[in-house]
Amino acid sequence: MGWTHANPGAPMSVTAKLADLETPALLLDCRQLQVNLQLMKDRARDLGVTLRPHAKTAKSIPILELAVDASCRITVSTLKEAEAAFAAGFSDILYAVGIAPNKLRRVLDLRRAGCDLCVVLDNVEAARAVSRAAREAELALPVMIEIDTDGHRAGIKPEAEDLIAVASALEAPAVLKGVMTHAGESYGCDAPAALQAIAELERAGAVRAAERLRAAGHACPEVSVGSTPTALSAVSLEGVTELRAGVYMFFDLVMAGIGVCATDQIALSVLTTVIGHQAGAGRLIVDAGWMAMSRDRGTAKQKQDQGYGLVQGHEDLIILDANQEHGLVGRRDGAALDLSAWPIGSLLRILPNHACATAAQYGHYDLIGLEQGPATWPRFSGW
């Protein structure tokens, strides 16, 4: 990549470089990013599965290049991500959102260009639409059936009769590649035992669905599971072939609230400037509102509500409220701040509730934690 990360023991303070940035700015601590990426690579290795990192959080080619293991498999949540990744040299791509018929033209264009893109579905109608489109294009199109292991979102229950019907509705050149699932309910856990239990529920449900398909005469070589909480909590992934996760690259306050990381493992922050004071309330006004942080209040239902974001290095300071371009920073207990300690022009770094949502507001990362190398990495967005 042409750069080296800083000494891991070096303090990550706001530097002169940051003082030159216009705010709000999206900061990426490359030192911590590297640590987080290695953490998941080690987990996949120890669990005996292939890692298929998810592009949805980073949406940046340099980060994907660092995140993949030797297989170079990736997951995407949009066709824009798939197109950008394929243009950068990635070819083994799972589009892990139920396919809409109006997107099949772009899917087949990628397949025709040489991209080994696999789609996901969970119903007979979609299976028939995929089969018809593949037949008309005379192109092979691999498919994974989404399995619902926790009632959180889409998918077919592992024991449902529909599972075999969907597989049977696929006709060549569409071909069943396997099953995949996402344990979204893990985001509602906050205890190790509960996280381990839902990770096992995820594993067992996906493996059972694959076993049923094979017993019915359908090849099912791949069993794909994943979410950051379950990936970091699973005791065993017996019967699983690959692991997917995305937010672990940066972590965020929701993940800290679940208990799968500490706040000092969060690699992403928003640099903001104090632009005013509310003297009567003892609060700061900053130039990072909900457009800079996103409206995601994912910690609101957790044991500790972090408002619109936590001031890094100050566990008692959060963005209490936000307008489009203004954030109101204060103590979580409501006590007044000593405003003389935070003069106009002071810089704060705000840790985000949901890294995916906050990063989506920006076109690039401003990099910190580097001894040498680029100043920014681009992001892409859209569908």
pLDDT (tens digit per residue) in 160-183: 999 999 999 999 999 999 999 998
Give pLDDT tens digits for 71-127: 999 999 999 999 999 999 999 999 999 999 999 999 999 999 999 999 999 999 999
Q: What fold is seen in the domain 4-26+258-378?
A: Lyase, Ornithine Decarboxylase; Chain A, domain 1 (2.40.37)
What confidence score (pLDDT) does residue 347 get? 97
Report the predicted TM-score, pTM, of the whole model to 2 decimal places: 0.93
What confidence score (pLDDT) does residue 16 get? 55
Please check whether residue 179 is in contact with residue 222, taking contact to mean a CB–CB distance below 8 angstroms: yes
pLDDT at 7 over 80: no
pLDDT, average across residues 362-370: 94
CA–CA separation, 310 vs 302, rounded Å? 14
pLDDT, average across residues 19-42: 97
Work out the percent of the chain whose per-residue pLDDT is above 90: 90
Contacts of 70 (CB under 8 A, 6+ apart): none
CA–CA separation, 238 vs 18, rounded Å? 46
Domain 32-247 of CATH type 3.40.50.720: no
Task: Dihedral sign for Cα 303, 252, 69, 144, please.
Answer: positive
Burial class of residue 122 (count of CB atoms within 10 Å of its CB; 0-12, 13-18, 19+): buried
Average pLDDT, the chain: 94
CA–CA separation, 327 vs 286, rounded Å? 5
What confidence score (pLDDT) does residue 199 get? 96
pLDDT at 14 over 60: no
Ranges of CATH 3.20.20.10 domains, the chain: 32-247
Q: pLDDT-based confidence at 186, cuts 50/70/90?
A: confident
pLDDT at 244 over 70: yes
Question: Max alpha carbon distance in the chain (Å)?
Answer: 73
Ranges of CATH 2.40.37.20 domains, the chain: 4-26+258-378
Provide the 8-state DSSP code for 273: E
What confidence score (pLDDT) does residue 13 get? 37
Give pLDDT tens digits for 273-303: 999 999 999 999 999 999 999 999 999 999 9
pLDDT, average across residues 239-261: 97
